[in-house]
Amino acid sequence: MRFELSQKFFFDAAHTLHREIEAEPSRRVHGHTYQVEVGIVGYRSEETGMVLDLGFLRRDIAVLRDELDHRLLDEVKELGTPTLENICVYISKRLPGLHGAASLHYVKVWRDSVGDSCTLRLG
């Protein structure tokens, strides 16, 4: 049996974005609350009854969250242009070595205030 588990978190951050439309407000430094959900898949250990103790995932998330929360995303190394797409990629690269039989399945980033979202599916 293959299981899917998920964990949500959020971070608050500022950014600028150069766009062809709605250009002026996006170009100025402004902030968003970014909601994130990461999904993992894997097989349950008979010994523990778990695919992965979610405490390990939350520990890894806490490290990467600190790299994004209350930051100017334009300045975060290796993120690139601070779009939803690039934030998904960044988060996926920060959660590479999940423990045991689990692997990263998807990263979803969304902003309730704007009503948009982006999902990166892996594997």
**Displacement of CA 120 from its chain's centroid (Å):** 9
- Select from 34, 18, 35 the least CA-distant residue to 26: 18
Q: Least distance (Å) from ligand LPXRUNBV to the CB of residue 103?
A: 26
Residue number with the smallest Cβ distance to ligand LPXRUNBV: 83
Q: Indicate the residue among 88 and 98 with the shorter CB distance to ligand LPXRUNBV.
A: 88
**Residue 18 makes contact with ligand LPXRUNBV by CB under 6 A:** no
Structure tokens at 117: 């979202």
How distant, in Å, are the alpha carbons of 2, 38, 91, 96, 109 from that of 118? Answer: 25, 12, 12, 19, 5
User: How near is the Cβ of 22 to ligand LPXRUNBV at its closest, in Å?
Assistant: 6
**Cβ atoms of 14 and 69 closer than 8 Å:** no
Q: Would you say 44 or 111 has its CB closer to ligand LPXRUNBV?
A: 111
Strands (E) located in the chain = 2-15, 30-43, 102-111, 116-121
Q: Which residues between 64 and 83 bind ligand LPXRUNBV (CB under 6 A)?
A: 83
* Residues found near ligand LPXRUNBV in the complex (CB under 6 A): 17, 22, 25-26, 30, 32, 83-85, 113-114, 116
